[in-house]
């Protein structure tokens, strides 16, 4: 420290930075230069902190200076002169505070982090920097010399001017300063002159500090349009304002479907404002369910820390946009710390519960909204079912299905299904395929339709991976109607007249001979009403839709063998029995059998080539037209 003199009267003291500080400054200037704009975020964030402190102090301290002053941040620039001034009416600093705060690295670990940053220079993205407050010193990215004039809000305080070129020393002198607070001024380096443009300042403020809780003025103009909405209670929120905020943070062009304000105090303290978009985000549409890199914004004490914080929500819920603001993390946390912090784990757990409760309430109180939501995000709920075991029960209640008893685009829940099923029905039935129309036309449905038994119609490709994993609901097993082991015995088709064994057995035998290795077995059906045959899977076989999906993912998967069920009360089957009695070598019998089998395959989308099918069809038409 050395004493110089200023105008011969007021002493100017010169101080030396600690060695560590020099290294830090060097790193800031040479490593972070790719994102110089963050200097403004840091200065505003400091000003905002200082304002928060003075706001708090004035609650209890009657004697602070300028108790009535407006709490605000004022920026002014001179585009021609390349000068910049930012001024706040916050707590200010005493001389001791100036030395302690602007002469040393406040946080331990800061330097280590900076060095790590430098080593991985290729990964120096804005997001990474965003998690780390490089603080006041980031200003040296855009200028060669900074002046800080400050006066503490403490009664009887003096003003001080701090000045440094970030080269190893700084000076402090006493000045006259009328108001409390801090004023920081400097001239931009030529390479940073863009920041002396009004539009640029406005842009940066909007990007990083739009929701700072105090007005930020550039000249007369207030730059931050909206204050921290998430700090308000539900009754204080106005829909249009909230939607404007949503569109801003989520980059959506339309309003949100719904929003949820959250306020939690206890083990952790945080406020959140969450949004349900009307439509699925593009990555979900284009890359099926991929929400890997999404998440709400993380604020700590009203300062934006991370734009898309993945750790706030489990992946399947990351389509939810919004802001989470907590008091329980430090502003200077790194991504690793955020990730592994018990605070984050607790916030995630609480948020997940709140969100699922929100869906539940929507389903109950605003079914139309819930439907829109479910159409866009239903697949995501199903993914959650297989990843979030803690909330599995809740997620199962949220599932919605079309069924044989709903219209197209109408839904039933498992609860409703289970409550309205007949007393002697023991199982919950589902049928999976590619579309409602295709499902409704399937012969396997005939029995159920005839008996008035409700069948869930699953046409979402995800369904086949998810629904079987539910196993049972309300102690009722979920079962695919194409499984061979459904018990039809108690509800036999009374109207039908089955073939006697002596006629039936030769039919089954000849079917087996004709189809050979193509099928696992040929058996008498109890489920068919108007179709002659159908294909089902064995007890342990895969549902056909499931098999199709598996094949799409793994093309060399061998096809599982199916069982052909034959409707012995159908005229075609009865006629075949008659033809066998007359002459079992009549080639028309085998042609008809092959055709019936391939027709069933065709219906399921499992017929690979239609050439043989068509020529056989012509053969049969020829025979039919000949006999007339």
Nearer to ligand ADP, 39 or 245 (CB): 39
Q: Among 39, 64, 90, 317, indicate the residue that binds ligand ADP (CB under 6 A).
A: 90
Buried b (16+ CB within 10 A) or exposed e, 32-42: beebbbbbbbb
| Cα gap 537→539, rounded to integer Å | 7
Residue 314 is a binding residue for ligand ADP (CB under 6 A): no
- If we measure between CA atoms, which residue out of 262, 287, 292, 271 comes closest to residue 356? 262
Token readout for 402 is 């079309």
| Cα gap 492→281, rounded to integer Å | 49
Residue 443 is a binding residue for ligand ADP (CB under 6 A): no
Token readout for 477 is 């097993």
| Cα gap 515→533, rounded to integer Å | 13
| Cα gap 82→87, rounded to integer Å | 17
Q: How far is the CB of 43 from ligand ADP (least distance, A)?
A: 7
Token readout for 583 is 């002459």
Nearer to ligand ADP, 103 or 468 (CB): 103
Name residue, tokens 């803690």.
390
Nearer to ligand ADP, 341 or 386 (CB): 341
According to CB under 6 A, which residues from 454 to 473 bind ligand ADP?
none
Stretch that binds ligand ADP, among 59-67, 134-142, 272-280, 486-494 (CB under 6 A): 134-142
Q: How far is the CB of 88 from ligand ADP (least distance, A)?
A: 5
CB 57 within 8 A of CB 90: no
Identify any residues that bridge with 524 across adjacent strands, giving them in sequence order: 566
CB 14 within 8 A of CB 1: yes
Nearer to ligand ADP, 31 or 46 (CB): 46
Size of the site for ligand ADP (CB under 6 A): 19
Residue nearest to ligand ADP (CB): 135
Sign of the Cα torsion 417, 423, 428, 429 reads negative
Question: Binding pattern to ligand ADP, positions 227-266, x when CB under 6 A?
Answer: ----------------------------------------
Residue 101 is a binding residue for ligand ADP (CB under 6 A): yes
Residue 106 is a binding residue for ligand ADP (CB under 6 A): yes
The crossing angle, in degrees rounded to 10, of helices 611-626 and 587-604 is 130
Token readout for 440 is 């409704």
Nearer to ligand ADP, 94 or 169 (CB): 94
* Exposure on the CB side of residue 415, measured as CA atoms within 13 A: 7
Q: How far is the CB of 94 from ligand ADP (least distance, A)?
A: 10
**CA-based radius of gyration for the chain:** 36
Question: Binding pattern to ligand ADP, positions 39-68, x when CB under 6 A?
Answer: ---x---xx--x------------------
Q: Among 28, 40, 64, 88, indicate the residue that binds ligand ADP (CB under 6 A).
A: 88
Q: How far is the CB of 90 from ligand ADP (least distance, A)?
A: 5
Q: Among 136, 170, 195, 358, indicate the residue that binds ligand ADP (CB under 6 A).
A: 136
CB 338 within 8 A of CB 131: yes
Residue 209 is a binding residue for ligand ADP (CB under 6 A): no
CB 442 within 8 A of CB 543: no
Q: How far is the CB of 339 from ligand ADP (least distance, A)?
A: 20
Question: Binding pattern to ligand ADP, positions 391-430, x when CB under 6 A?
Answer: ----------------------------------------
Residue 28 is a binding residue for ligand ADP (CB under 6 A): no
- DSSP track, 308-349: S-GGGS-GGGTT-EEEEEESSS-TT--HHHHHH-HHHHHHHH
| Cα gap 235→521, rounded to integer Å | 66
Residue 91 is a binding residue for ligand ADP (CB under 6 A): yes
CB 205 within 8 A of CB 77: no
Q: Among 38, 93, 242, 603, indicate the residue that binds ligand ADP (CB under 6 A).
A: 93
Q: How far is the CB of 98 from ligand ADP (least distance, A)?
A: 8
According to CB under 6 A, which residues from 176 to 195 bind ligand ADP?
182
- If we measure between CA atoms, which residue out of 333, 366, 381, 179 comes closest to residue 260? 366
308-to-27, 260, 321, 375, 377 alpha-carbon distances in Å? 26, 18, 9, 24, 19
Q: Among 28, 32, 64, 135, indicate the residue that binds ligand ADP (CB under 6 A).
A: 135
According to CB under 6 A, which residues from 329 to 348 bind ligand ADP?
331-332
Nearer to ligand ADP, 332 or 444 (CB): 332
Nearer to ligand ADP, 305 or 573 (CB): 305
Name residue, tokens 């403004």.
40
Q: How far is the CB of 26 from ligand ADP (least distance, A)?
A: 16
Write out the residues near ligand ADP by the rule CB under 6 A.
Answer: 42, 46-47, 50, 88, 90-93, 101-102, 106, 133, 135-137, 182, 331-332
């Amino acid at each position: 420290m050395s004493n110089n003199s200023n105008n011969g009267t007021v002493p100017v003291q010169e101080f030396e930075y600690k060695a560590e500080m020099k290294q830090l400054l060097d790193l800031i200037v040479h490593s972070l230069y790719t994102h110089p704009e963050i200097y403004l975020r840091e200065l505003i964030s400091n000003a905002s902190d200082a304002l928060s402190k003075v706001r708090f102090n004035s609650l209890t301290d009657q004697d602070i200076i300028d108790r009535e002053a407006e709490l605000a941040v004022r920026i002014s620039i001179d585009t021609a002169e390349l000068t910049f001034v930012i001024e706040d009416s916050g707590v200010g600093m005493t001389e001791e505070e100036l030395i302690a705060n602007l002469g040393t690295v406040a946080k331990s670990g800061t330097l280590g982090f900076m060095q790590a940053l430098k080593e991985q220079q290729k990964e120096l993205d804005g997001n990474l920097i965003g998690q780390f407050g490089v603080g006041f010193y980031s200003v040296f990215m855009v200028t060669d010399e900074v002046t800080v004039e400050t006066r503490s809000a403490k009664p009887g305080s003096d003003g001080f001017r701090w000045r440094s070129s970030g080269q190893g020393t700084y000076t402090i002198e006493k000045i006259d300063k009328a108001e409390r607070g801090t004023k920081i001024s400097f001239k931009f380096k030529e390479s940073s002159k863009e920041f002396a443009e009004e539009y640029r300042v406005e842009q940066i403020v909007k990007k990083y500090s739009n929701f700072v809780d105090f007005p930020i003025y550039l000249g007369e103009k207030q730059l931050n349009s909206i204050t921290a909405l998430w700090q308000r209670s539900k009754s204080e929120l106005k829909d249009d304002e909230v939607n404007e905020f949503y569109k801003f943070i989520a980059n959506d062009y339309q309003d949100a479907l719904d929003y949820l304000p959250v306020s939690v105090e206890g083990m952790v303290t945080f406020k959140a404002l969450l949004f349900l978009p009307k439509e699925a985000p593009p990555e979900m549409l284009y890359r099926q369910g991929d929400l890997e890199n999404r998440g709400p914004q993380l604020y700590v004490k009203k300062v934006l820390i991370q734009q898309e914080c993945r750790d706030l929500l489990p992946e399947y819920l990351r389509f939810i946009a919004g802001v989470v603001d907590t008091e329980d993390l430090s502003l200077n946390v790194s991504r690793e710390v955020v990730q592994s912090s018990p605070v984050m784990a607790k916030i995630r757990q609480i948020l997940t519960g709140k969100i699922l409760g929100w869906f539940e309430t929507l389903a109950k109180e605003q079914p139309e909204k819930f439907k829109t939501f479910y159409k866009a995000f239903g697949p995501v709920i199903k993914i959650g079912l297989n990843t979030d075991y803690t909330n599995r029960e809740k997620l199962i209640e949220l599932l919605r299905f079309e069924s044989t008893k709903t219209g197209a685009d109408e839904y039933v829940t498992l609860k409703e299904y289970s409550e309205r099923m007949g007393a002697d029905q023991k199982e919950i039935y589902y049928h999976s395929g590619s579309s409602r129309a295709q499902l409704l036309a399937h012969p396997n449905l005939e029995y159920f339709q005839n008996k008035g038994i409700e069948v869930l119609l699953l046409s979402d490709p995800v369904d086949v991976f998810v629904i079987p994993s539910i196993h049972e609901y309300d102690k009722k097993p979920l079962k695919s109607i194409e499984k061979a082991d459904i018990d039809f015995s108690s509800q036999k088709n009374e109207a039908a007249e089955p073939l006697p064994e002596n006629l039936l057995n030769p039919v089954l035998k000849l079917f087996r001979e004709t189809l050979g290795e193509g099928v696992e077995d040929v058996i008498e059906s109890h489920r068919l009403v108007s179709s002659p045959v159908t294909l089902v899977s064995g007890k342990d076989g895969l549902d056909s839709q499931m098999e199709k999906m598996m094949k799409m993912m793994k093309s060399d998967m061998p096809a599982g063998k199916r069982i052909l069920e034959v409707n012995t009360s159908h005229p075609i089957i009865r006629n075949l029995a008659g033809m066998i009695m007359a002459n079992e070598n009549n080639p028309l019998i085998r042609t008809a059998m092959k055709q019936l089998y391939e027709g069933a395959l065709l219906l399921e989308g499992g017929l690979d080539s239609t050439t043989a099918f068509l020529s056989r069809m012509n053969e049969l038409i020829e025979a039919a037209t000949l006999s007339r």
